Amino acid sequence: MGLLDGKVAIVTGAGGGIGRAEALLLASEGAQIVVNDLGGARDGTGSSESAAGKVVAEIEAAGGRAVASFDDVSTPSGAEKIIAAAVTAFGRLDVLVNNAGILRDKSLLKMDEAMWDAVIAVHLKGTFLCTQAAAKQMVSQGGGGRIVNTTSVSGMMGNFGQANYAAAKAGIYGLTRTAAIELQKHRITVNALAPIAKTRLTEDLPMFQTATDSLTPDHVAPAALFLGSDLCGDRTGHVLAVAGAQMYIYKVVQSAGKFKDENGVWTAQEIADNWDAIAKI
């Protein structure tokens, strides 16, 4: 018995890297898979059907069932077609893993509007569109469902040269939290992964220039399987970070804060004088 026997899952950006590892693992646990990938370059330009097709072939060679989708997550019609691919091929949708992404890194002062728009469109808008379309399908079916988004350490903490990417990933955190609240009544859990792994997107980053045998997509995939399976239970709205063998949770934490003695309006000078107390966790 597999953890996902009888389930139908979509993995976007599954033509390589983390998405491929997630698709292969979910398939090995019994899920029927829609392997979505536009097949473009790392910066999002171009397209090819070969990447998704190869992963479908891998799944089928291992005895699983899969179909390819080459649709663009960043357009409403593309997102709708991705969900329709699952329903047409397998009759339903139980799990969505939003993994598709591109990079156009540049420091803030050198970034142009096109770089900003392209990254926001794929990561944040794409996650919104696919989540919305998937949730509508899951609600119409009844029985709940599971949505797994992909945020990033950059989105939670910031990272030099990635203002567009970090903003998109931070937005995905907010989207995940809100969708978790709104969809809970429909028994749809919405969680996110914050992975660190060496892939085509990240291989030239400084942190991956040394030995990275412990930072592979295969380390990340089990987290997606957990969040997409019944092992997750009713846990929702969480960010599960994966860095090789380490897993941890990201949370936005509110400090205890400080009240002004008279319950009045703070002055700027008083804020400066009391900063340490205000900020103390």
Catalytic residues: 165
82: how many CB neighbours lie within 10 A of its CB? 26
Q: Provide the residue type at 257 as one letter.
A: G
Q: Which residue has the tokens 């059907």?
A: 49
Half-sphere exposure of 174 (CA within 13 A, CB side): 10
Task: Tell which residue, 160, 275, 212, has the closest CA to residue 17.
Answer: 212
Q: Which DSSP string corresponds to 175-190?
A: HHHHHHHHHGGGTEEE
DSSP letters for 27-51: HHTT-EEEEE-----TTS----SHH
